[in-house]
Amino acid sequence: MNYYIKYEPKIRSYIQRLVFDSTDAEDIMQSTAMLLWKKHDQFKADQAFLPWAYKFAYNEIRNYYRKHEKSKKLLLDPDCIDQLADTSLKNSSQLEELKASLDDCLYKLDNSDRRLIEYRYCEDGKINDLAEKQKTTPNALSKALQKIRQKLHICVRSNQEHS
């Protein structure tokens, strides 16, 4: 169970990179966690936990796409899912470094800029709603967000160059 707690963010990130709907990704995360719990006796201490856990997550993702294939809600075929999964695994360490850099850059933002980013992206806030609350125009708010994203982009790129 300690391994799961340690690697849960990486498993969640892996699933989110392969499942585009956040609610569905969360459902898959829950079913993966249940499977890992049920199958924990099959895990051998001498093997790496993360690849073992990714296999369960991958199978849950494949089941999800198979289940939704008939509804035509999803347009990815199994080969595409395989390629995405392989690429995701290969790039996971680089993505973790980028995420750490982005977290650092978010921390460096002014509180008001950070709150705006959090509202827009973490809370899925709507520009029009926030503009109304702040008594500004949606266009002005969009421009402010663009400037903040540009600051973040420059900061992340600078961090990557110095590491």
What is the torsional sign of CA 98, 99, 104, 105?
A: positive
Q: Name the residue with higher pLDDT: 55 or 84.
A: 55
Q: Give the phi and the psi of residue 79 in degrees, each rounded to 5.
A: -65, -40
What does the H/E/C string look like for 89-113?
Answer: HHHHHHHHHHHHHHHHHHHHCCHHH
Task: Work out the pLDDT band at 52, boundaries 50, 70, 90.
Answer: confident
Question: Which runs of consecutive H residues, i.e. helices, occur in the chain?
Answer: 2-18, 22-38, 49-69, 78-108, 111-117, 127-134, 138-161
Burial class (CB in 10 A: 0-12, 13-18, 19+), 80: exposed
* pLDDT tens track for 37-51: 998 888 887 878 888
* pLDDT tens track for 86-111: 776 666 667 777 877 888 888 899 99
Distance (Å, whole) CA 133 – CA 78? 45
What mean pLDDT do residues 119-131 have?
82
DSSP 8-state symbol, 118: I
The reported pLDDT for the residue numbered 28 is: 94
* CA-based radius of gyration for the chain: 19
Distance (Å, whole) CA 17 – CA 45? 28
Percent over 70 (pLDDT), the chain: 88
